[in-house]
Amino acid sequence: MLEGDLLDYEHAPVIGSAWIASCFLHATRLRAPASRAVLAASAVALLLSMSGGWIVGAGPLGRALLSLFQPMRALALLPLVAAAAILSALDLAAAALARIGAALAARGARRSRPAVAGLLPAAVAGLLPAALALVAAVEIPARAADLHVMAEKQAALVASRGCPPPAEGFDPDLIARWLAEAPPGRASYAVEDEFATCSMMHAADLRRAVPMAASTGAGAHVGVHAAAFLKVAPERPGSAARAEALGIRTLIHLTAQRPGPPEAWALVDRRGEVELSRRVGGTDYVGLGCVREVWRGREADLLAALFEHLEQPRTALDTPGELMALEATRGPLERVAMADDGCDAARASVREVPREPGVYEATVDAEAPVDVVFRATAYSGWRVRDGGVELASRRVAPGFFAVRVGPGRHHLEAVVALPRFYLQGLALACGAALALGAPRLRRPIFRRGRLAVTERR
């Protein structure tokens, strides 16, 4: 905000400076409810948008807060709050200048002087919106030009049925059909971003029947997950294991990236240099493994270590059966090898049951203890039940969640639930709003006494 890039990125810091000046003006009128509201809204919006680091480092409390609120979403409030603060400050300034003008005019009348002196503040009050309009006339075209250029590029992509074909045989309609006919499991592009962008511009992703592991469309993975999904690297040995670790069943790639061996990947279709391969065997969204190592440390250190780990030639993705647990603590980063506790994924099997989005279901038959990993983003809203009994889950790399089950048959169901006490909090907030608003609702909008005084005047 101080450097002028918060609301005026790569432009003159007009809006940011006006917001700061507005807050100072409102600070001189703390008795006014509107000023207190503007200052409170500005402070809350700024604090929420900057709270990511603190929330992540707050341990269990931070994880509970993140289940309710994502700091980056507060950025959407900043332009609205700034606009309200600036407009309210202009209103205050105009009213103050009008009062000064009226006082000067009254004083001049008592001294038998012309009331011209009172016209100056009124003129200044009238010039404030004009000055704002002048600044807007200078700044808005330059800022709108950037958006216009971007919109023209997007429109050109759509009008020309996408960008120039990134590969021989590129056919977005064919890709859309491949995705629509894909079996359960995630689908992914194994080519450059330009290829995925072209497919998205043709709405190929929107006509899919399976979740996309990597896409430039809305809802695409970010952070560690995005880095992990880009590490399938089909041309390198072991790509089937990496794809299974990420729940990827369908892969769209170029001929030069054809994965192998044939017993692990089946070539389903091709058009020119563009090919469709499907992983053979293995599991999709629910897998089996054993936690062999635990990483503990501050959340920021864990994330940095994961990004570094994913850049190595061999990672945890190459061995889906050997899981790496992630535990956020306040201490320094440490990596602890787990002792043999009898876990054996080779003596267990899993059968997945397709369900609606937000629900995973599987039957696990195990002859020894085993960790069942759900290849979905770990967060506190997941509830995993074994025949009605809720199981404790833990986070495993690259950010999924897993539960430990013992020998026997287990019917597991993972369901996304609302954060704890969410409905109770919502009901309490609604009740408080009604309680505060009820006295005002009972008051008559027009009082007879005031109307009578107005009529007499």
Q: Is there a domain that residue 45 lies in?
A: yes
What pLDDT was estimated at residue 395? Answer: 95
Mean pLDDT confidence for 432-450: 58
Residue 446 has pLDDT above 50, yes or no: no
Residue 373 has pLDDT above 80, yes or no: yes
Q: Starting from the edge strand earliest in sequence, which strands make up the sheet with 389-391, in order? A: 348-353, 359-366, 408-416, 382-386, 389-391
Residue 240 has pLDDT above 50, yes or no: yes
Last residue of a domain, one of 248, 279, 310: 279
- 239 and 332 share one domain: no
Q: Is there a domain that residue 359 lies in?
A: yes
Average pLDDT, the chain: 82
- What domain range is 332 assigned to? 287-416
Per-residue model confidence as pLDDT tens digits over 117-138: 555 555 665 666 677 677 777 7
The answer to whether 357 and 281 have CB atoms below 8 angstroms apart is: no
Confidence (pTM): 0.65
The answer to whether 240 and 279 have CB atoms below 8 angstroms apart is: yes
Q: Is there a domain that residue 388 lies in?
A: yes
Residues 6 or more apart from 352 whose CB is under 8 A from it? 184, 283, 284, 285, 286, 360, 361, 362
- 256 and 148 share one domain: no
Give the CA dihedral 107, 113, 119, 122, nearest 10 degrees.
0
Per-residue model confidence as pLDDT tens digits over 376-424: 989 888 999 998 899 999 999 999 999 999 999 999 999 988 766 777 8
Q: Is there a domain that residue 6 lies in?
A: no
| Kind and range of the H or E run holding 279 | strand 274-279
- 133 and 225 share one domain: no
User: Where residue 156 falls among pLDDT bands split at 50, 70, 90?
Assistant: low
Q: Is there a domain that residue 452 lies in?
A: yes
Total of domains in the chain? 4
Q: Is there a domain that residue 153 lies in?
A: yes
User: Where residue 164 falls among pLDDT bands split at 50, 70, 90?
Assistant: low
Q: Is there a domain that residue 179 lies in?
A: yes
